[in-house]
Chain A
Amino acid sequence: MRVLLADRVPEALGLLAGDGAAIPVAGGTDLLVHWPVRIDAHDRTYVDLSRLEDLKPLRWSDRELVLGGLTTYWDVIQDERIGREFPLLVRAARQVGAIQIQARGTWAGNIVNASPAADGVPVLMAYDAVVVLESGRGREEVPLDHFYTGYKEMRRRADQLVVAIRIPRRPYSYQVFEKVGSRRAQAIAKVGLAVTRSDAGWRVVAASMAPTIRRCPMLERLLEQRVQVAHPGDLVPAITQDVSPIDDVRSTAEYRRRVMARVLYDDLRETCGWP
């Protein structure tokens, strides 16, 4: 195992550009899982980001909240203002692993790890977050809902770091985050949902329901058009178009579809005036 240390962002970007196969390490809470048995991973080169102080703080401006490239779940939990303005960030953060992981794990790491079952990504996506990427060749911004192109595939080159995550400030009239796991803590989502409503419209984001975390355009349209829904089953046609759950080691496609319909229906019932 080769670990390269960088003190400043440009230096880290240089290391990434120099060694095409180098891998950035933030909290390491994804990268180091089952480390001893992942022998092939031992032969790679890593760039340790932990000294890049510039990437740590989160910032507020009039128009947006900007998370740093190294902002952790714990940083967000601690920030009372986020609790007020972006409560889903805090709610999701509190459901990531347990306190040890919350203290080390970063939002950027959650995005780049690209698990379809991640908890940080759906709430960021429901708030229209934008991923800020930087490399020696410059900066680039990609809206999170356009970031993923397939299972574990994304619009990020190996030499790019996530240096910030921009979240526009808007008043929300509705927001909910649901994580259905196989136990009450330390669980990976079998079904994850983040739903928001603002002047920009409805956002419905599903996790663990497709190869990537994704927005659900048919459901969003159904909500925009105020379609009357009498029963969770009425949501299933839209769900079937929006997502493609599978049977895997954690759950079944059938269960995921049903639960998504029921939880969505139950959550939205009052707001939407459904029976």
Chain B
Amino acid sequence: MQRREGLAKLTGRERYVDDLPLEGALWGMTVRSPAPRGRVSAVRFRPDVNWSEIVVVDYRDVPTANEILLIERDQPVLAAGYVRHVHEAVLLVAHPSREMARRAARAVDVVVAPEPPALDFRAPPRPEQIQFGRDNVLKRLQIAKGDVEQALARAPVVVEGVYETGAQEHVYLETQGMIAWLENDVLVVKGSMQCPYYVLNALQHALGRDERRVRVIQTPTGGGFGGKEEYPSTIALHAALLALKAGRPVKMVYDRPEDMASTTKRHPSLVRHRTALTTDGRLLAQDIEVVLDGGAYVTLSPVVLSRGIIHAAGPYACDNVRIVGRAMFTNAVPFGAFRGFGAPQTLFALERHMDVIARALGLDPVELRRRNLLRDGQSTATGQVIRDGTDRIAVLERALALSGYREKQHSHAAFNAAQRSQRRGIGLATFYHGAGFTGGGEVHLNSRLQVAGLPDGRVEVLSANIEMGQGTLTVFTQIVADRLGLAPEEVVIGEPDTARVPNSGPTVASRTTMVVGRLIERAADDLRHRVGLDDRARGAAVKDAIMRWHREHRGEPLLGEAVYERPPGIAWDEERYQGDAYAAFAWAAYVAEVEVDLRTCTTRVIDFVAVQEVGKVINPTLARGQVQGGVVQGLGWALMEECKVENGAMINNQLTNYIIPTSDDVPPIRVAFVENPYPHGAQGAKGLGELPIDGPAPAILNAVAAATGADPRAIPLTAERLMEIVERTH
């Protein structure tokens, strides 16, 4: 099936928020904090701008609550006399000319009386740096299974390791953007976002408007990767405040440097492992400590930490597991949602650690994993018994066969002996990713979705889930068309507009196809029932029945509906952090082959194999695209993407110096799927979107370790870092 919005994107006709005409609009710009922490002692307006032409908004203009509604309410819409991170929004300005608005923003001096910032999440804070609770810990979580201390004390072998990952920028092609205006008394906010209802809730909360007086509409979104999960609430509030004060439409679109410097990034992490094993490599105990840098506000750190620790012990059977996690307050720009949501960090540590263990025990890394991979009937760290019928060892074997793993190990040995400065190596990672919200999250979301029958016999999906390049429009179309026996053209996907669509939950957490897709199937069934048909009715019968219904009920809406239902047999104990953390896991084995140039310590990934079990693959092209994109993004995170920070501010906030892979840096990526349909996902699908970013970094670093004999433990493994490590090794 052709991608629904493909032609519009290919021909440049798709209209993103910045392309929308907006009569009489003002351009909004943000004045930001120059310092990581302190009291705002003065805000000065320099006279080189005619301030009578400029609309100015500060925290006093927030009508109801100066809070960005999220898990906590600690983050102000605009700083009220105190700043907690560099680039925190202090003031907003607007003018009909973008250039004048920019000049005005530059002509404001925010003077901050500095106080000692906490800038290193790894170091215990000094008393004068404490700004959250007693110890700057934003959130603590713990998982316990068995008796770790006893197992460690008795074990024949204990291997320890410390692993670190850096921040990562989303680099969505379309930067953050929002427009806002008043339509009579209704505030309309339109823009680039993943979660229209998050934005709606945030607007209602801060502006004191009930849902009839606010309306949020998603525009075609040029990439998100989590960066448009929670952040759009902020820019939406800013655009709305300016529009309300000016009484005119307002448009805010960040340019790249502003977007990179002031919006969220992936949480940096530090993970410690202490692992007890038998001499032949069976896991006896995993003792894991996870520390995340949360930044200056809570944002989503508690749930990122949650997913992080749940994935930290990996897809292995181990009777004794202890995982303690904490997210630290620092005066960094707040970290936020990013594809994988904590799991890539902890899985990097774990899968690198598995190779460190293998080396310590003189075992083959493949064998070590084969011995410990979960078999059906065994349980994860939270005690979730896995019984999905997937053969995880077969997934691994497939990856080994596709990559020619054994043959390459031999040919590399010969190559490395013959070459002066080139070294080749191969490495792997076996991992999993839980789909949908963690624990009871999906139950709390209580997602609702409708499928409408239109008078002309077509059907329309009414959902709050959005297209951001990943293929929602196409897959939703396929799901309805298949369910009702319709042609793709007979399916309409409604615009995500909170005035029209029910809250089917956020477009995050690899939940859209699996969870929301399943709601679509059930709502389609409900629609069929409402027009007097049973589940076998398809095609013309459905269309005719819909048209007949409309002739008999003129002017009335025909809506099939579904509300989330927890799959049977799933239970989660939030207090003890035990039970079924996810309704379903996707499983994977990735293999990377690298070539390292010892002169420059540059690492080039020369081959990549990605094998995964994701239930049923609904659209092979899109699924392959998700995997390839995840691998590229993972490669960047592993080898080159580095947020360089000085006194709490990113200094390489432009694409010249924030290095992401080009097409020439990307190896052939061979993707294979093992299918094992999941009974509670649409057509048997499980979540896929995030899985592919979990595996590349550890697989690539394991390959570098194999190639060079070095033992890298932190990413990004830039050439400069690898050179230091190689120098130390030799």
Chain A interface residues toward B at CB < 8 A = 33-34, 36-37, 39, 42, 98, 180, 182-188, 190-191, 249-252, 255, 258-259, 262-263, 266
Contact A184 B664 (CB under 8 A): yes
Among B98-106, B153-161, B460-468, B518-526, the one that faces the other chain is B98-106
B661 at interface by CB-CB < 8 Å: yes
Chain A residues near B665: list those with CB within 8 A.
183-185
Contact B599 A262 (CB under 8 A): yes
Q: Which 5 A-B pairs have the closest CB atoms?
A: A262-B599, A184-B664, A185-B664, A185-B662, A255-B720
Contact B255 A255 (CB under 8 A): no
B657 at interface by CB-CB < 8 Å: yes
Given contacts A180-B602, A266-B599, contact A37 B255 (CB under 8 A): yes
B536 at interface by CB-CB < 8 Å: no
Contact A266 B102 (CB under 8 A): no
Contact B255 A36 (CB under 8 A): yes
Contact A37 B257 (CB under 8 A): yes
CB-contact partner of A42 in B99, B106, B255, under 8 A: B99
Given contacts A188-B656, A249-B657, A252-B720, contact A34 B257 (CB under 8 A): yes
Chain B residues near A185: list those with CB within 8 A.
662-665
Residue of B whose beta carbon sits closest to that of A188: B656
In the complex, A33 Cα to B256 Cα: how many Å? 12
B600 at interface by CB-CB < 8 Å: yes
Contact B600 A259 (CB under 8 A): yes
Q: Which of B98, B652, B657 has the most CB of A within 10 A?
A: B657
B654 at interface by CB-CB < 8 Å: yes
Contact B103 A183 (CB under 8 A): no
Chain A residues near B662: list those with CB within 8 A.
98, 183-186
A-B contact pairs, 6 of them (CB 8 A): A39-B106, A180-B602, A183-B661, A188-B656, A249-B652, A263-B599
Question: How far does the Cβ of B199 sit from chain A's closest Cβ, in whole Å?
Answer: 26
Interface residues in B59-114 (C-beta closer than 8 Å to A): 98-99, 102-103, 106
Chain A residues near B651: list those with CB within 8 A.
249
Contact B103 A39 (CB under 8 A): yes
In the complex, A34 Cα to B258 Cα: how many Å? 12
B644 at interface by CB-CB < 8 Å: yes
Chain B residues near A184: list those with CB within 8 A.
604, 662, 664-665
CB-contact partner of B719 in A37, A42, A182, A188, under 8 A: A182
In the complex, A59 Cα to B334 Cα: how many Å? 57
In the complex, A263 Cα to B720 Cα: how many Å? 15
Chain A residues near B600: list those with CB within 8 A.
180, 191, 259, 262-263
Give chain B's interface residue range (CB within 8 Å of chain A).
20 to 34
In the complex, A251 Cα to B663 Cα: how many Å? 22
Chain B residues near A182: list those with CB within 8 A.
640, 659, 718-719
In the complex, A37 Cα to B102 Cα: how many Å? 8
Interface string of B562-583 (1 = CB under 8 A from A): 0000000000000000000000
Name A's interface SS: loop
Question: How far does the Cβ of B252 sit from chain A's closest Cβ, in whole Å?
Answer: 14
In the complex, A118 Cα to B99 Cα: how many Å? 31
Interface string of B707-723 (1 = CB under 8 A from A): 00000000000111001
Question: How far does the Cβ of A81 sit from chain B's closest Cβ, in whole Å?
Answer: 28
Instruction: Knowing that A180-B602, A183-B664 touch, tell me 20 more A-B residue pairs with CB under 8 angstroms.
Output: A37-B255, A39-B102, A39-B106, A42-B99, A182-B719, A183-B659, A184-B664, A188-B656, A188-B657, A191-B600, A249-B657, A251-B720, A252-B720, A255-B719, A255-B723, A259-B723, A262-B421, A262-B599, A262-B600, A263-B600
Interface residues in B659-704 (C-beta closer than 8 Å to A): 659, 661-665
B444 at interface by CB-CB < 8 Å: no
Interface string of B593-620 (1 = CB under 8 A from A): 0000001101010000000000000000
Chain B residues near A188: list those with CB within 8 A.
656-657
Q: Which of B421, B602, B640, B651 has the most CB of A within 10 A?
A: B602
B730 at interface by CB-CB < 8 Å: no
Chain A residues near B420: list those with CB within 8 A.
266
In the complex, A259 Cα to B665 Cα: how many Å? 20
Contact B723 A258 (CB under 8 A): yes
In the complex, A251 Cα to B719 Cα: how many Å? 9
Interface string of B249-261 (1 = CB under 8 A from A): 0000001011000
Question: How far does the Cβ of B97 sit from chain A's closest Cβ, in whole Å?
Answer: 12
Residue of B whose beta carbon sits closest to that of A267: B599
Given contacts A180-B600, A251-B720, A255-B723, contact A266 B421 (CB under 8 A): yes
Chain B residues near A258: list those with CB within 8 A.
723
In the complex, A258 Cα to B599 Cα: how many Å? 8
Contact A39 B255 (CB under 8 A): no
In the complex, A266 Cα to B420 Cα: how many Å? 9
Residue of B whose beta carbon sits closest to that of A256: B720
Chain B residues near A186: list those with CB within 8 A.
662
Residue of B whose beta carbon sits closest to that of A269: B420
In the complex, A251 Cα to B723 Cα: how many Å? 12
Interface residues in B635-663 (C-beta closer than 8 Å to A): 640, 644, 651-652, 654, 656-657, 659, 661-663
Q: Which of A34, A255, A258 has the most CB of B within 10 A?
A: A255
Contact B644 A249 (CB under 8 A): yes
Chain A residues near B661: list those with CB within 8 A.
183
Q: Which of A37, A42, A191 has the most CB of B within 10 A?
A: A37
Question: How far does the Cβ of B476 sit from chain A's closest Cβ, in whole Å?
Answer: 36
In the complex, A42 Cα to B99 Cα: how many Å? 10
Residue of B whose beta carbon sits closest to that of A262: B599
Chain B residues near A190: list those with CB within 8 A.
719
Contact A183 B640 (CB under 8 A): yes
Contact A39 B99 (CB under 8 A): yes
Question: How far does the Cβ of A264 sit from chain B's closest Cβ, in whole Å?
Answer: 10
Question: How far does the Cβ of B330 sit from chain A's closest Cβ, in whole Å?
Answer: 22
Interface residues in B223-250 (C-beta closer than 8 Å to A): none
Residue of B whose beta carbon sits closest to that of A186: B662
Residue of B whose beta carbon sits closest to that of A191: B600
Question: How far does the Cβ of B458 sit from chain A's closest Cβ, in whole Å?
Answer: 43
Interface string of B628-640 (1 = CB under 8 A from A): 0000000000001
Given contacts A183-B665, A263-B599, contact A34 B654 (CB under 8 A): yes
